[in-house]
Chain A
Amino acid sequence: MYQYSPEDSEFLVERVDQFEKQLNRHLSGDLDEAKFRSLRLRNGLYMELHAHMLRVAIPYGTLNSIQLRALADVADKYDRGFGHFTTRQNIQFNWIELPEIANLLRELSSVGLHAIQTSGKATRNITADPLSGLTEGEIEDARPYCELIRRWFNLHPEFSWLPGKFKIAINGAKLDETALKIHDLGLRLVRSDEGEIGFSVFVGGGLGAAAMVGAETASFIPVEDILSYLESVMRIYNLKGRRDHQKRLRIKFLVRELGAVEFSRLVYEDWLQTKDDPELKLNLIELEGLKKDFELPIKPLPQAKFIDKVDFNYSIWKKNNVRSHKISGYSIVNVSLTKLGAAPGDASSEQMRILADLADKYSETELRTTKRQTIVFPHVRKDQVFDLWQSLEKYELASPHQGTLAQIVACPGGDYCDLAKAVSIPIATRVQKRFDDMNKLLDIGDLNINISGCENSCAHHHVADIGLLGMQKNGEEYYQITIAGETLHETIIGKKLGPSVSGENVVDAVEEIVNVYLDNREEEERFTDVFKRIGINPYKEKVYE
């Protein structure tokens, strides 16, 4: 598994040292709040409703057990014993004391973790498919590219003070688990007719009040030219992006105002000036080295027949939580952290240590985090899946909810976030209680419900089968419903169903929508396919009748 070199670790320490100096200047009154805010955000530190929140990056969602234990230690020592896995492969701690932050970051740097650029107007943590390298049909494992691009834009002198935040996702798989077209910039690994690997580039996607699908600005950029191309995108954004209007800062507004064709032309013209600069060529030797570092730590197992155990609960869990691995003899196991009443993605320090121990025992020390806020054991021997399940059961981590409606994605919402207009977690809990019959959940199948507490859309509600967006109406909490969004097979922004629904009625509305789906579904049809066939009216009629 890839690990930082000593010089990378040195860089992390230098970054903490510098931030500590900035923090001390702020605490002694020598650095005003506005500038400190800009600096602390670049180090992942937010001021939330009750305390400071720290967002730590889990680059491309890959963690080893040592790192997870270090995160558990942070949860105990600096938080209240919890961490929150986010939809963008980060982990957040909600109760951080400002003076302790440097020590916390130093502890994390010793295991190759950091909070650099997990917030602020710069390139954020680069996300990848959590199953990168594990599934058939992939063009390539995206993580070596994520790592090289992450490094390149780490404290980039020209692009660290952009008009707005800049999120990049890279996908090399057939299905898009990264939702790359709703990112500021999405890269899809592609293979040309001649067999050369390169990227299709999509720019200007995003959620929020003006949800947009990214426009393709280039259909094929060769691997070695990707850094110069990305620099050109950011240069045009840096120079021409809106800085005068707080709600128009993201690159999607620039792409919309210029038009995708004109934006692409400007990028292309700039790129023509730099694409042959040898300094900007992606280092192919380094890339090959990284590909070796990211090679899977397992080899195919001889196809010995083994008889899996028979157990009703195990088989339900297995159906929902276990996927096949491209390496024969192995499975991919997904662990849902969902618990009634708790924030989706929340994990206690105890759970983190258990997961770390189980990763050592069953998954070659490795874990992955997903945008559905679950934890993946990427390399579990098929003949050990039952043992792993038993261990998970013992620690109440064998929720069979993965891939069902009950695996709800919800942001912290009104319970923790000072930007929230409404609560998210209590709504998720009520929906889960309404659908607590496992047979019904299995019948419904994989149906996403995502709940955001405000227009910032941290829970990606626009691209869920059923999305709920919290808002205020006459001092009361209401929810706008969108349906039939998705990113996995294609990227579609969900359609607004109609007027927002009160908090009291929103769970009934969700149930009605699910019933319309079930009543109209033919065979294994997915939610979005039924919607395409029958349109929005049947849903409207049921919810607003």
Chain B
Amino acid sequence: MSDILEPKSIVNKANENIELVEFDEFINNINKYETLGVGVIIKPSDDIMLLKDSLYFIELVILDFNNFDDGRGYSQAYFLSKRWGFKGEIIGINAHLDQLQFMLRSGVTSYELLEDYKGFNEEDYSNGFSICYQAAANNSGLREKY
């Protein structure tokens, strides 16, 4: 994976013993990880559909939002969270301030911003609206109008 942050740095204390593997490694060796309880690191180009049947032994998923204009991560988060009801953490890494509202509403449960955004008020972007016009994985705090 190219310019991805060191994922271990962002995993909660509670998760720090979870082994993190990249998507291809995981898919090619599913049997190996079945008993471990594992975290999977997913790039936008990875086919999220291949994870569906393995979710019951995946502890957490890491999605990479580094490419500002690449919106595939939002659909990946949607599948995990809303479509499949994945209960583990969905972590957005390389996150952009201006996209927090989209990430969180698509189902990302925690995130780490890229360095450039340190010092800005995250609330302005994670929580800048009082109303939303569509169903989503997470509309908490929003008045729903649809």
Which of A's residues lie within 8 Å of B, judged by CB? Answer: 7-8, 10-11, 14-15, 17-18, 21-22, 25, 30-31, 34-35, 38-39, 121, 151-163, 227, 235, 238-239, 243, 273-274, 277, 279-280, 283, 286
Contact = CB atoms under 8 A, between A and B. Distances in A.
A273 B74 contact: no
B146 A158 contact: no
A238 B134 contact: no
B78 interface: yes
Max chain B CB contacts within 10 Å: which of A11, A273, A274?
A: A11
B81 to A, nearest CB: 11
Contacts of B145: 7-8, 151
A152 B135 CA distance: 8
> Which are the 8 A-B pairs with shortest beta-carbon distances?
A161-B71, A157-B105, A279-B135, A151-B133, A157-B106, A158-B74, A18-B128, A157-B102
6 contacts: A17-B128, A157-B102, A158-B74, A161-B102, A239-B72, A274-B83
Interface size class of B (residues with CB under 8 A): 35 or more
Interface string B119-146: 0100011001111111111000001011
Given A35-B96, A277-B135, 6 more contacts: A7-B145, A14-B129, A154-B134, A157-B104, A160-B74, A238-B75
A35 B68 contact: yes
A160 B72 CA distance: 10
A38 B69 contact: yes
B83 A273 contact: yes
B70 interface: yes
Nearest to A22: B98
Contact of A161 (B70, B83, B101): B70
Contact of B130 (A14, A25, A38, A156): A14
Interface in B58-111: 68-72, 74-75, 77-78, 83, 96, 98-99, 101-106
A312 B138 CA distance: 65
Contacts of A162: 71
Contacts of A273: 83
A35 B71 contact: no
A121 B69 contact: yes
A10 B102 contact: no
Nearest to A21: B124
B75 A152 contact: no
Contacts of A35: 68, 96, 98
B129 A11 contact: yes
A103 B99 CA distance: 23
Contact of B71 (A7, A39, A160, A274): A160
Max chain A CB contacts within 10 Å: which of B78, B104, B120, B133?
A: B133
Max chain B CB contacts within 10 Å: which of A152, A161, A286?
A: A161
Contacts of B128: 14, 17-18
B135 A161 contact: no
Contacts of B77: 158
A161 B146 CA distance: 21
A152 B125 contact: no
A7 to B, nearest CB: 5
Contacts of B70: 161, 243
B143 A7 contact: yes
A152 B69 contact: no
Nearest to A36: B98
B71 A156 contact: no
A227 B104 CA distance: 21
A208 to B, nearest CB: 20
B106 A155 contact: no
A122 to B, nearest CB: 9
Given A121-B69, A243-B70, A155 B129 contact: yes
Nearest to A238: B75
B128 to A, nearest CB: 5
B146 A152 contact: yes
Contacts of A159: 71, 74
A157 B69 contact: no
Contacts of A8: 131, 145
Given A10-B131, A238-B75, A18 B124 contact: yes
Contacts of A21: 124
Contacts of A15: 129
A280 B135 contact: yes
A158 B101 CA distance: 10
Nearest to B83: A273
Given A151-B146, A279-B135, A158 B78 contact: yes
A350 B71 CA distance: 43
Nearest to B45: A243
B124 to A, nearest CB: 6
B15 to A, nearest CB: 25
A415 B132 CA distance: 40
B68 A38 contact: yes
Contacts of A239: 48, 72, 75
A153 B130 contact: no
A351 B133 CA distance: 36
Nearest to B138: A157
